[in-house]
Amino acid sequence: MGFTMKVERVVHDEVFSLLVASGLFQDVTLTVTAADVGQAFDGSNLVTTARDSGGKLIAVCRALTDFTRHCFVATLAVHPEAKGKGVGKSLLNFTHAQAGDPKRIVIFLHSAPESVGFYEAIGFKRELTCFSLNNIS
Ligand SMILES: CC(C)(COP(=O)(O)OP(=O)(O)OC[C@H]1O[C@@H](n2cnc3c(N)ncnc32)[C@H](O)[C@@H]1OP(=O)(O)O)[C@@H](O)C(=O)NCCC(=O)NCCS
């Protein structure tokens, strides 16, 4: 499948529609609005996209990188019609390359339960020493 990847500032409604279509919000406890998504994307210093030959947004990745050692990938979503075609893997590799020197930058992320197999398939290592702190009930 032909697609183009780049670093870009995304239009909030466009990316919100993609995230909803991807199913990313299906199991979340809190309601996520387009304004929440806009704030999150505006507050991230590395946003990468994949678009098809007609310019349609088919995948997005939102990350926070220090361009030195650590890059936290907070969102990755592929449109249902583009899933299973290597877009997710390509966009993560592209994001890694944009986040700093790929030989020095480590990518961290929290996987949705149903996506664990994806990260294992593309070579991510499962860590036993990650922690989180939150008050979400
Ligand atoms: C998870 C997601 C990003 C994967 O993107 P994708 O473009 O469909 O995946 P790719 O086509 O790049 O797959 C790369 C490899 O992972 C495998 N894979 C993809 N999804 C998988 C899954 N859910 N379980 C196991 N393996 C999976 C593919 O078979 C492929 O393996 P191969 O290289 O041996 O052929 C996409 O399905 C998605 O957006 N899901 C909904 C949102 C979501 O869960 N995002 C992640 C939140 S942490």
Separation between Cα atoms, residue 61 and residue 24, nearest integer Å: 12
For a mutational test of ligand 1's pocket, the pick from 79, 109, 115, i.e. the residue with the most ligand atoms closer than 8 A to its C-beta, is: 115
Token reading at 117: 């197999």
- Domains of the chain by residue range: 3-121
Atom 21 of ligand 1, residue of closest alpha carbon: 118
Return the HEC string of 6-69.
Answer: EECCCCHHHHHHHHHHHCCCCCCCCCCCHHHHHHHHHCCCEEEEEEECCCCEEEEEEEEECCCC
**Residue 10: pLDDT over 80:** yes
Is 3-121 assigned to CATH 3.20.20.70? Answer: no
pLDDT digits (tens, 9 = 90+) for 76-105: 999 999 999 999 999 999 999 999 999 999
